[in-house]
Amino acid sequence: MAVQSKRIKVTDLTLPEKVSGRWLKRNKQQIVNAVLWGAISLREACRQYQLSVDEFLRWRASFATTKQTNSLAD
């Protein structure tokens, strides 16, 4: 039996509304994914969400670390 992978199209991404408080992990992940998949540029994401490049890079690094940790546990 063949396993089909579900591919996410860049056009299917949903970006969060501007956040006026604390960032949820889900919102951070949406923005990181959108930048990594080319739906929005890093510059535009930082402008739109009032982020510094350093803050974005910390988010990206934390998700990469989480993913690696989760794959080691499998």
Note the residue count of the chain: 74
**Amino acid at residue number 22:** R
Q: SS in 3 state form for the chain? A: CCCCCCCCCHHHCCCCCCCCCCCCHHHHHHHHHHHHCCCCCHHHHHHHHCCCHHHHHHHHHHHHHHHHHHHHHC
Question: How confident is the model at residue 16, as a pLDDT?
Answer: 87
Separation of alpha carbons 38 and 6, rounded Å: 18
Q: Domain map of the chain by residue range?
A: 25-66
HSE at residue 50, side-chain half, CA atoms within 13 A, is: 7
Per-residue pLDDT tens listing for the chain (74 residues): 455 545 545 555 678 887 778 899 999 999 999 999 999 999 999 999 999 999 999 999 998 876 654 444 44
